Amino acid sequence: MQRRNVLKGAIVALGVVVSAGAFAQEKPIKVGVTGGPHAQIMEQVKKVAAKDGLTIQVVEFSDYIQPNAALAAGDLDANSYQHLPYLEAQIKDRGYKFTNVAFTVTFPMGVYSKKIKSLDQLKQGARVGVPNDPTNGGRGLLLLQSKGLIKLRPDAGLKATPLDVVENPKKIKLVELDAAQLPRSLDDLDAAAINGNYAESAGLSPTRDAIAMEGPKGPYANLIAIREADKNKPWVAKLVKAYHSPEIKQYIQATFKDSVITAW
């Protein structure tokens, strides 16, 4: 009788293991990020998600184009690096079937310089760098406009380009460069509007080093993007839960201070 009970218990235990295995995650989900804070934060999310049974593989990219291309191709399951205007522009221009499942953080864009201490010191014909992608380029131009350096056409909106500049009192030469290259180009420019994540990666702090910075409110909160077809998969909710956990909020505040702001 005792042997039967032991055998029965073993069979039940085996059934539980098999049942649990049937629902186990078959492989890690791959999440694309850009280098710097996005990568650092996702490494922490990876640890939190593991406690909930979700295994994450963080894949780092050095530009803004490839993470969406990789997601569309199925090489990634999600990415976490872009804000909503950029995602919407990519969907419109490239036909991606993506959706936003959660907002993450905001990186204030700032103007940086190795040659001047304030925008008032910009000379006639100064060379000022701005990102060359449509959304972040418009963001840079709006920042310069908010500081009185240029004036854009009223209907230019978030996708403003240098062609939309209607007033330029100092005849500033706008130099369009890849967003990731701007910090490395400061030696050749008088100033540059640089995204917060790339500024952080280059050792620049918006609160310490920027000579001008965006206000705290704006449409540029970053997000987690996935393919529309995956939105109801269980791992999506686990990923968002891990990112929006108190542990991650505390990590961001302790690590980045005012340079990175949580958007949930």
* 159: containing domain: 110-213
Same domain, 193 and 232: no
Shared domain for 134 and 208, answered yes or no, is yes
Per the structure, the count of domains in the chain is 2
Q: Give the end of a domain, one of 213, 230, 252.
A: 213
Confidence of residue 258 (pLDDT cuts 50, 70, 90): confident
Looking at residue 134, which CATH number applies to its domain? 3.40.190.10
pLDDT beyond 80 at 215? no
Distance CA 110, CA 215 (A): 10
pLDDT at 26: 66
Q: What is the mean pLDDT of the chain?
A: 90
Within a domain: 6: no
pLDDT > 90 in the chain, percent = 77
Strands of the chain, DSSP E = 29-34, 56-61, 78-83, 98-103, 105-106, 110-112, 127-131, 151-152, 165-167, 173-177, 191-194, 212-213, 222-227, 261-262
Are 33 and 119 found together in one domain? no
Please give the single-letter amino acid code of residue 107: F
Spatial CA neighbour of 251 closest among 243, 209, 31: 243
Of residues 64, 55, 62, 63, the one with CA closest to residue 31: 55
Where would I find the beta strands (DSSP E) of 44-149? 56-61, 78-83, 98-103, 105-106, 110-112, 127-131
Q: d(Cα 145, Cα 139) in Å, to the nearest integer?
A: 10
Specify the pLDDT at position 206.
86
Does residue 172 surpass a pLDDT of 60? yes
Do 131 and 196 fall into the same domain?
A: yes
Within this chain, do residues 181 and 232 fall inside the same structural domain, yes or no? no
Which residue, 258, 210, 214, 212, is CA-closest to 114?
Answer: 210
Answer yes or no: do 135 and 152 share one domain: yes
What pLDDT, on the 0 to 100 scale, is given for residue 247? Answer: 98
Tokens of 20: 């649990």
Q: What is the mean pLDDT of residues 42-66?
A: 97
Does residue 23 carry a pLDDT above 70? no
